[in-house]
Structure 1
Amino acid sequence: MALEKLHKVLDDIVKKNNYINPTVAVNPISTGGANYSSSLYTIIVSESGKEDLQLFAKVLVTNENLSAQLPMKIVDLEQFFYVDLLKKYENIQNAHNLPVEKRLIVPKYYGCYPKEPVAQTIVLENLTVKGFTTHDRFKSIDWDYAAKAMESLAKFHALSMAYSENNPVEFEQVVEKIKGNGEMIAGILKRMYQQHINTTLAVIPEKHKNKLQKYLDTEVNTELMFKNKSLQRPILCHGDYRPSNLMHRVNENGALEVIPVDFQTIQYNSPLYDLMYFIFTGSDEKFRREHFQDLTDHYYQELSNALRSLKLNPDVIYPKTTFELELKEYLPYGLVTAIYSLPIITVETENAPVIRDDASIEVYDSFLQTKTGPLYPERMNGVINDFFRWGIIE
């Protein structure tokens, strides 16, 4: 069924790109446990006298049971980003004549097949043929990578702020459109968090267990973490901004380039939602000890630069004092993120979970109770150590 839907999309793409009698080679690929919700493919469309078309396809693993429970189909949301929202952002960038280096860069969109509840498909350019790759999820990010990732995130967030300033009524319509999807994701993440508290307690030293449990019981407000729409400046967040959803390469001039992908979890929340998520899904204790403050400062500086390039004053739109307040308020979300995500992010490839064809929302609960890998205790204890060192847990 998945390949049938994919070939229907490819037929349309071939016609739109004026291929008459091409050869279409479709090859499945594996992410080594970095992707759980989709089947992935690379496609080469070739024809004599024409340049090969290098494509990447993502086919959502779902069914009528699961699809009926989703307020907005994931592929529909990603299609909405590429077809509608991205055009708004491009118009904003064009209106300010932004040079390439100041623009948000994302993969080129070719087509989508969201018409059925099974095998929903989106087709993009294949960035790997241009030298892009994903970060090794078993390794911590380094400064160069993290800094570039923050530059891309800042551009993405600045465009949301500009959109809300320039077209507030239209922006609110977008927020309403994606509202149900955000609430659904928040519900899943909250259950993941609750399920993995015991997983966390099982690997930390005995001396920390009671204090951590007390902190989670009395100080962590999951309603704030998962449903709050920002203290001051709500935006359209990426929602899953982690190294596995970024592509990077080193250009000929030696500069690192990072491009965000996977816009199927866009939601309305604080900029700190994406920032904390990136840091605590992609870094180890050593990185945070050396670079946490520098990285959050770098993000805000890049956001300020991006806002100024769009003729917006960061001191008015999102002052540094507001950012620092939200950083303090959202810091516990870093711990929450680690609790629900690290068991999955650090799982060994052979133990990576797979969504079955009969999946439902409830199936995610058991699906995400996966066997943890050997890296998990080190990464999780590193996060706990941070929160003791910062004096957040006492």
Structure 2
Amino acid sequence: MANHDQILRELLEKIAEEYKYKDATYKIEPVSSEGANYSSALYNITVSSPNNEDLNLFAKVLSFSEKTRSAMVDTDTLPSDPSETERFVYQELAEKFKELELKCGIPMEERYAFTKFYCHQPNTNAETVILENLAVKGFEVYDRLKSIDWPYASKAVEVLAKFHGLAMAYEEHNPEEYKDILIKYTNKIEPIYKYMSSSFKDFAETALSVTREENKEKLKKFIDSLSSFENVLHVYSKPQRKPVIIHSDFRPSNIMHRINKNGTIDLIPLDYQTIHSGCCVSDLIYLIILGSDAPFRARYYQRLVDHYYDSLRNTLIRLKMDPDQIYPRKDFDYELREALPYGLIVAIFGLPLITVLPDDAPDMTSDNFMDGMTKIKTSSLYPDRINGVIDDYVKWGVL
């Protein structure tokens, strides 16, 4: 196991030099994700210097055990330098988005927000990303054990629509460059998705074990229909009408939010290491299914879907594009129908982990980490959440 303190101190020395923090001292504090993160060790960091204000930083260090890492190397499924992917997003993609927003005169308060990026370490066994610590500014992660509410959900889809709209604008302005990005980052993520897909049967058995009897055969039929696919996560999330850069892990645990005194919400997404080519509705479905419960969806599902498209349409108009040409509602509705089963797949994979109690979360440093993921001790919240999803998919005609 890599020495995280040494890795971080070497990076912090470079940051201190770049920002002219002479005689800097470093306070490095491990942070528990409380079961919200399964691949990285997390740290809050304070860089202090006699003549400067403190730098408040946040670090992620990829932290698989040697056995787990070796197994992933042997099967060619180790994530291909996720720190480089995040560096690309925070440095290059963020700059492209900023240029587009400036060119189109988007007011500062309406722009897509990225957290400040400081540096990354791409070396194997030491892959690290260091960002601004948003918690110091009052941001926090939504409680993953609770369903999202309308104020949070509506703001989240507005932000998601900005991300997708800016990606579409990028394609309009630099089509060949954009195409290369889609290919590059899709190729990077495919191996790990295939590896995850090899465990689909185990996750499916967990879902079936708590499925109510009247729906069990319907779910089993759906699961069996996916048995021949090498990558079940890409069967329904691949683009049908409009390829776009998707976040692909857009859920409350990967989003920081702050409620302001006037009741408005500021929201900043994180964890871009799985960006690739997909259909934008797959990000929307992912958020709704993994972030909400059945009562929320019964009340707000269609309203949230409509709010997302209206927000995307408004984003495209602000970016001087015609939404009826770029991504008309009929294309959105078509992709939504085609991608809807994706939500059931991510529920099967994700809900055991989303609802796990902190003390039962898999230990990423354990040699048996992958077994811990597939044979997780589910919480009492899990049956209700997964059955709520299954009921919705029966109602929606997928099951």
- The two structures share one fold, judged by TM-score above 0.5: yes
CA distance, structure 2, for counterparts of residue 212 and residue 148 of structure 1 = 32
1:2-81 maps to which residues of 2 (within 5 A)? 2-62=4-64, 65=70, 66=72, 69=76, 70=78, 72-81=80-89
Report if the CA contact (8 A) 2:250-2:286 is conserved: yes
1:215 aligned partner, one-letter code = F
1:191 counterpart residue number: 198
2:4 and 2:61 in contact (8 A); partners too? yes
Instruction: Name stretches of at least 5 consecutive residues in structure 1 with no aligned partner.
Output: none
CA contact (8 A) 1:237 1:270 kept: yes
- List per-residue Cα deviations over 1:29-65 (Å, max 9, x = no partner): 1111101110111111122232111111111114563
> What displacement does 1:253 show?
2.5
Distance (Å, rounded) in 2 between the aligned partners of 1:341 and 1:184: 18
User: Are residue 93 (structure 1) and residue 101 (structure 2) matched?
Assistant: yes
Aligned to 1:207: 214
What aligned pairs does 1:140-151 form with structure 2 within 5 A after superposition? 140-151=147-158
Q: What amino acid is aligned across from residue 200 of structure 1 in structure 2?
A: A
Is the contact made by 2:294 and 2:385 (CA closer than 8 Å) also made in structure 1?
A: yes
Give the corresponding residue for 1:344: 353
Maintained 8 Å contact 1:72/1:180: no
Which residue in the other structure is 2:301 paired with?
292
* Corresponding residue SS for 2:118: strand
TM-score by length of 2: 0.93
Task: Say if 1:313 and 1:365 are closer, same or farther in 2 by CA, change over 3 A.
Answer: farther
Q: How does 1:329-368 map to 2 (within 5 A)?
A: 329-356=338-365, 364=370, 367-368=373-374
221 and 260 in structure 1: CA distance in 2 versus 1, 3 angstrom threshold: farther
Counterpart secondary structure, 1:252 = coil
Larger CA deviation: 90-99 vs 330-339: 90-99
Q: Is 1:168 the equivalent of 2:195?
A: no
Deviations 1:327-353 (A, max 9, x none): 111111111110111011111111101
Shift in Å, 1:267: 1.1
- Taking the aligned partners of 1:281 and 1:206, their CA distance within structure 2 comes to 23
**Is the 1:277–1:337 contact (alpha carbons within 8 Å) kept by the matching residues of 2?**
yes
Query: Using a 3 Å threshold, how does the CA distance of structure 1 residues 171 and 196 change in structure 2: closer, same or farther?
Result: same
Match of 2:124 in 1: 117
Residue 390 (structure 1) aligned to one of 355, 378, 396: 396
Change (3 A) 1:358 1:224: closer
Partner residue of 1:106?
A: 114
The alpha carbon displacement at 1:250 in A equals 1.0
Compare 190-199 and 168-177 and name the one that shifted more: 190-199
Is the counterpart of residue 372 in structure 1 residue 363 in structure 2? no
- SS of 1:52's equivalent in the other structure is strand
Letter in 2 for 1:97: G
| Contact in 1 for aligned 2:24/2:47 (Cα 8 Å) | yes
Give how far 1:229 is off.
3.1
Residue aligning to 1:303: 312
What count of residue pairs does the alignment treat as equivalent? 389
Task: From the superposition, tell whether residues 160 and 365 of structure 1 become closer, same or farther in structure 2 (CA, over 3 Å).
Answer: farther
- Residue 156, structure 1, aligned to residue 163, structure 2: yes
Q: CA deviation at 1:152?
A: 0.8
Cα distance in 1 for residues equivalent to 2:196 and 2:161 = 24
How big is the shift at 1:177? 1.8
Following superposition of structure 1 onto structure 2, how do residues 180-259 of structure 1 map, counting pairs within 5 Å? Answer: 180-218=187-225, 225-226=233-234, 229-259=238-268
User: In 2, distance between residues paired with 1:193 and 1:392?
Assistant: 19
Distance 1:45 1:323 in 2: 46
Unpaired segments ≥5 residues, structure 2: none
1:134 corresponds, among 141, 144, 150, to: 141
The aligned amino acid for 2:92 is: D
Give 1:221 shift: 8.6
Query: Percent of pairs identical after alignment?
Result: 42
Across the aligned residues of Structure 1 and Structure 2, the Cα RMSD in angstroms comes to: 1.9
* CA spacing shift, 1:96–1:74, aligned 2, 3 Å: same
